[in-house]
Structures are given as C-alpha cells and as structure tokens.
Amino acid sequence: MLRGIDHLVVVVPDLAAAAKSYAALGFSVVPGGRHPVGTHNQLIAFADGSYIELIAFYEKTAEHKWWGPLQRGGGLVDFCMQTDDLLADTAALRRAGVAIDDPAPLSRKRPDGFQLAWVLSIPRPPHRGVAPFLIQDETPRAERIPRETTHANGVTGVGTLTVAVEDAAPARRWYAGVLGQPGREVERHELDAAGVRFEVGPHALELVAPKGAGAASLNEWLRQRGPSPYAATLRTTGRELGPLDEGQTHGAKLALV
C-alpha cells in the first residue's frame, strides 16, 4: 500500500550553492552523499517522515532521467512514494495503466562512508513524474534519512504536491485503482485549473489541468516541461507564510502554509 510521499526531488545545477540557499531560507540541510550514477545530494528531512532531496550531477550523465529536466530549468522534477509492499504496488500501478519498470537496485555512499542500498520501481515516459517512483529500503530507512528534522522556519512536513497534467482523467483512474479511493474534485482558481485530489497518508496529491485563458502559466509549464510536478506546499509552525523566492529555491515552486 502507498503510505505517503517519501521525498520530493529538486534538481539543481550546483549542489553547494543550493544547500547554501536553502539554509538561508531556514532549512536544516544535511549532506547526503554520492550515487554511482553521476549524482550527489543534500537532504532536508521533516518530522512527518518525508524529505526534500536536493540533487545535482557531479559528472555529465545525459541518459539520467533528471538530466533533461535540469536542462529545462530544474527545480521540482519528481517525487517518490513510500510503500509497504513494493512488488504489489508496482503490479497495481501496472494494472492501472502505468508504464513502470520492474524494481531495480540503487545505492548511495554517505559522507561518513556508510553504504545505503534500496530498490526502486521507476515509471517510464510519458508517465514519469505524474505517477511516482517507489522505493523499498534494503538498509534501514532511518539510515537513509537525516535525523535532523527541526528547521528555523518551522517546517514540519510536506502538505500538498501539485502535478500539472493536460487531462486529469487518466491519472485519476491510476490513483483511484491503486489507492482504492475515488479522489475528490478540486478547483485551483489561482491557476485557472481543475482536477482531482487524493489523500495519501499524511500528504495530499493534486493532479490539475488547465481550464481556460487564465491558465497561461500552467499551459506554459506543460509546453516546456510536459506533465510533471508543478509545485508543493510545506507545513510550518512558523509565522512566515507564503511562496518562497524561486531564486533561492533554484526554480522549485514551494510555499509555506
């Protein structure tokens, strides 16, 4: 069963610069380590069990799934969901119509030398970024995620992830089938968009499509990026609310609520 958002992926051109910017926004940023596929990361962990992964390339890896999105501006590009049964949820997504690969191993070496290992099921285009990739840890999950979950800005976790789509109906069928719930209609007036909202564990996922002339920003996003994660809210106990500066978030549309 899908249990909620594991992490949001924010791809950036310069990892050190991104870590410095997010720290200036009040986040506790922890070095993550290196993957053997040309990427390295820093992590922002939250009390609700989710985290933001800031990821960059330490060598050109044009075949990597996030290399292309980085060339188109980077920022929030993908999301991972927790599962308590990777094989069953992979099969459920496939039955629902998602093109998704069989589970495959990946690893990361932390700065302290600890070798992390996990298994991923990754959707293939054109479903990547609308359907989540799924993760199952082989080493303990507590070793993959930083223990530092308090932040000067008061953020405690992910609220809502908004995914831009051209038509919400196909994705609605996927998630309804896998989650066993129909979702509910949602209107996003500020985007002139509408779609469906699902509650997944402590988090919400909204899949929204442009409605009319007022959806220029969403239409432009779809033209440049295709269906993909568009924005996310982060829950905070702090007093500072609203959108974060996209220059400091390196293109990610994030807002504190």
Q: What is the pLDDT of residue 212?
A: 87
2-144 and 155-256 agree in CATH topology: yes
Q: What is the pLDDT of residue 116?
A: 97
Residues 6+ apart with CB under 8 A from 189: none
Alpha-carbon span 128 to 117, nearest angstrom:
22
Given CATH 3.10.180.10, say whether it is the number of domain 2-144.
yes
Alpha-carbon span 126 to 247, nearest angstrom:
29
Alpha-carbon span 33 to 113, nearest angstrom:
9
Alpha-carbon span 179 to 173, nearest angstrom:
10
C-beta of residue 151 within 8 angstroms of C-beta of residue 27? yes
The DSSP bridge partners found for residue 100 are 123
Per-residue confidence of the chain (257 residues) as pLDDT tens digits?
899 999 999 999 999 999 999 999 999 999 999 999 999 999 999 999 999 999 999 999 999 999 999 999 999 999 999 999 999 999 999 999 999 999 999 999 999 999 999 999 999 999 999 999 999 999 999 999 999 999 999 999 999 999 999 999 999 999 999 999 999 999 999 999 999 999 999 999 999 999 988 899 999 999 999 999 999 999 999 999 999 999 999 999 999 99
CA-to-CA separations, 75 to 19, 104, 105, 122, in angstroms, rounded: 13, 25, 25, 19
**CATH fold for the domain made of 155-256:** 2,3-Dihydroxybiphenyl 1,2-Dioxygenase; domain 1 (3.10.180)
| Residue with the two structure tokens 């992390």 | 116
Alpha-carbon span 90 to 98, nearest angstrom:
9
Residues 6+ apart with CB under 8 A from 216: none
Among residues 157, 133, 32, the alpha carbon closest in space to that of 80 is found at 133
Measured CA angle at 189 (ends 185, 191), to 5 deg:
105
Measured distance between the N- and C-terminal CA atoms of the chain, rounded to whole angstroms: 28
CA-to-CA separations, 182 to 95, 186, 197, 208, in angstroms, rounded: 16, 12, 9, 15
Q: What is the pLDDT of residue 213?
A: 83
Is residue 156 helix, strand or coil?
A: strand
Q: Residue 76 burial (CB < 10 Å; 0-12/13-18/19+)?
A: buried
Domain boundaries of the chain, sorted by first residue? 2-144, 155-256
Q: What is the pLDDT of residue 224?
A: 94
Distance of alpha carbon 119 from the chain centroid: 17
| Residue with the two structure tokens 């495959």 | 104
